[in-house]
Amino acid sequence: MNPVVKTRYGEVRGSVADGVNTFKGIPYAAPPFGANRLRTPRPVVPWSGVRDALTYGPKSPQVPYPPPIDLFIPELTKPGKDCLNLNIWTAALGSARQPVMVWIPGGMFEFHATGASPWYDGSRFARDGIVCVSINYRVGAEGFLYLGDGIANLGLLDQVAALEWVRENIAAFGGDPGNVTIFGESAGAISVGTLLSIPRTEGLFRRAIAQSGAAHQVMSTTAAQRVAQHLAEKLGVASTREAIAAVPVDRVLQAQAKLDADLAACPDPERWGSEVALSMMLWQPVIDGNVIPARPIDAIAAGVAGNIDLMVGTNTDEHRMFLVPGGAIDQITAEALVGAVAAYGLPVEATLAAYRAAHRGASAGDLLAAIQTDWYWRIPAMRLADAHAKRSGSNYMYEFAWRSPQFDGLLGACHALEIPFVFDTLGNGTELLWGTDPPQQLADTMHAAWVAFATNGECGWPKYDLGRRATLRFDITSEVVDDPRFAERALWEGVR
């Protein structure tokens, strides 16, 4: 018999297989359209009767994935109006009070942002005593348009609304609202780092895991308003919320795609602002002084989130995901490499000498991939771990080092490669990223560590502190390494 659970807003009917109850597409906020468009998330309108929660709900409106990301991420849904929804996997309904994990998917704050992927199937977490939740949220202009009118960070507020829904309803699904772990990857991990720092999340979660993302990637109001002005010009309307909300969603998405093309063709800091030109991300959380009072990394360094257990990590070769599949890595010239190093604020000669010494025989493209891995992912993650370690004794660091055999082994341990190992879903989705025979024992190890952390805050390896900086390097044979990125950390001191 299909399970039925009563929430604050009405009853939902899920499905059951192999002892796991699954509920998909449950709304946690009202559809963000009509009068709700470009506004803070509104409460769900209660329903009568039993609502089927058997299929994934729609994702938010968004531009298509850019190459090469469009090759890799499988999804099981399309955009639609009732897009602020979540999914739940649980093996114990009622009063079991199991640990809860809430997954925040990535997508550069412009696409994806949906829990409806076979990679994110939470049934293995449920099998192991966790109530697993995955969420959708708004991206692009619909989620991160900033106009200086007192409304900001709608996509982030969607995430907060989902966490509030979890606090109010998850006990009926067997979860403990007092033992919630948020975890996410890429933009989802940046969301985690940001949620750590903001007042509105007080009491909503106890632990946090940031996979390939940290607490640095935010925009100033000046840069965000500049992007909004460019969008309004593309649309031919005033740069006001009312004017842009009156434009059909499809036209806004077309304008966003044109802005993406403009940025790719000419990433000029004078036009876009340095935050956008360096990150190549038009839509990001904005330090608006209200939702996000200060730069998240600064707030965490000052002691915010000191009571939260934290795990943070990156993959060894993050940026090869963006350079290898389309062959861009072979097109990088020495001049382009020098220009990138200078743009990141690093001393060119010393930096290139250090990276050449660490990557013997590497091409200009290989060196750029290593440097961009550090700029985007590794250095921010290390600084998040450092900032939190100063204020908390519950801190863990990892590095995912297993190299994919795909693309003749050139992908390395690239961005997003760890996700199916964490979820124990290696049999789900595309083989293009990790091949036909990925190591199940590594998935067993990683998945167990995530379960243990969500359960009691312990990962199974030494905690990270500013003396030892112990880091668990996940591979076929995993090992603890002390301060494994000392040279890079020293090189980037004072930068980023």
Cβ atoms of residues 290 and 150 within 8 Å: yes
Q: How high is the pLDDT of residue 496?
A: 66
Quick: pLDDT tens for 352-403: 999 999 999 999 999 999 999 999 999 999 999 999 999 888 999 999 999 9
Residue 332 banded pLDDT, cuts 50, 70, 90 = very high
Find the helix or strand (DSSP H, E) in which 354 lies: helix 348-358
Cis, bond preceding 68 (omega within 30 deg of 0): yes
In a domain, 281, yes or no: no
Q: How far is CA 354 from CA 317, 348, 399, 491, in A?
A: 17, 10, 21, 8
In a domain, 238, yes or no: no
| Listed residues 244, 271, 296: the one ending a domain | 296
| Listed residues 278, 296, 314: the one ending a domain | 296
pLDDT surpasses 90 at 67: no
Quick: pLDDT tens for 412-452: 999 999 999 999 999 877 778 999 899 999 999 999 999 99
- For residue 396, which of 384, 378, 409, 380 has the smallest C-alpha distance? 384
Q: Is there a single domain that holds both residue 35 and residue 177?
A: yes
Find the helix or strand (DSSP H, E) in which 380 lies: helix 379-389
Which of 318, 399, 418, 488 is catalytic? The answer is 318
The count of structural domains within the chain is 2
Q: How high is the pLDDT of residue 276?
A: 95
Place of tokens 């257990």: 309
Q: Is there a single domain that holds both residue 369 and residue 291?
A: no
Q: How high is the pLDDT of residue 256?
A: 98
Cβ atoms of residues 143 and 154 within 8 Å: yes
Q: Is there a single domain that holds both residue 291 and residue 327?
A: no
What is the CA angle 143-144-147, rounded to 5? 125
Tokens of 13: 């009917």
Q: How high is the pLDDT of residue 392?
A: 85
Q: How far is CA 153 from CA 158, 284, 309, in A?
A: 9, 8, 25
Tokens of 286: 């904005």
Q: Is residue 359 annotated as part of the catalytic site, yes or no?
A: no
Q: Is there a single domain that holds both residue 292 and residue 310?
A: no
Cα separation, 128 vs 126, whole angstroms:
5
In a domain, 267, yes or no: no
Q: Is there a single domain that holds both residue 353 and residue 290?
A: no
Q: How high is the pLDDT of residue 432?
A: 84
Give the β-pairing of 85-90 and 131-135. Answer: antiparallel
Q: Is residue 186 annotated as part of the catalytic site, yes or no?
A: yes
Q: How high is the pLDDT of residue 494?
A: 75
User: What proportion of the chain, given as a percentage, has pLDDT over 70?
Assistant: 100
Q: Is there a single domain that holds both residue 312 and residue 209?
A: no
Arithmetic mean of pLDDT, 252-258: 98
Give the β-pairing of 50-52 and 94-104. Answer: unpaired
Q: Is there a single domain that holds both residue 205 and residue 115?
A: yes
Residue 490 banded pLDDT, cuts 50, 70, 90 = confident
In a domain, 211, yes or no: yes
pLDDT surpasses 80 at 72: yes
Tokens of 33: 């359209």
Q: How high is the pLDDT of residue 489?
A: 85
Cβ of 237: how many Cβ atoms within 10 Å? Answer: 17
pLDDT surpasses 80 at 457: yes
Which of 134, 415, 418, 478 is catalytic? The answer is 415
Q: Is residue 318 annotated as part of the catalytic site, yes or no?
A: yes
Predicted TM-score (pTM) above 0.75? yes
Q: How high is the pLDDT of residue 94?
A: 85
In a domain, 29, yes or no: yes
Give the β-pairing of 207-211 and 309-315. Answer: parallel
Phi-psi region of 4 (alpha: psi -120 to 50; beta: other; left: phi over 0): beta
Q: Is there a single domain that holds both residue 368 and residue 290?
A: no
Cβ atoms of residues 83 and 61 within 8 Å: yes
Arithmetic mean of pLDDT, 225-236: 98
Q: How high is the pLDDT of residue 214?
A: 97
Q: Is there a single domain that holds both residue 292 and residue 188?
A: yes
In a domain, 496, yes or no: no
Q: Is there a single domain that holds both residue 207 and residue 314?
A: no
Phi, psi torsion values for 255, nearest 5 degrees:
-65, -40
Which of 186, 191, 212, 404 is catalytic? The answer is 186
- Give the residues across from 185 on adjacent strands: 211
Q: How high is the pLDDT of residue 491?
A: 85
Q: How far is CA 129 from CA 4, 99, 417, 454, in A?
A: 20, 7, 25, 10
Which CATH number belongs to the domain containing residue 361 in this structure? 3.40.50.1820
- Print the domain residue range for 452: 306-491
What is the CA angle 107-131-419, rounded to 5? 35
pLDDT surpasses 80 at 109: yes
Q: Is there a single domain that holds both residue 19 and residue 39?
A: yes
In a domain, 259, yes or no: no
Arithmetic mean of pLDDT, 444-464: 97
Q: How high is the pLDDT of residue 230?
A: 98
Residue 234 banded pLDDT, cuts 50, 70, 90 = very high
In a domain, 245, yes or no: no
Cα separation, 94 vs 175, whole angstroms:
8
pLDDT surpasses 90 at 324: yes
pLDDT surpasses 90 at 243: yes
Q: How high is the pLDDT of residue 69?
A: 77
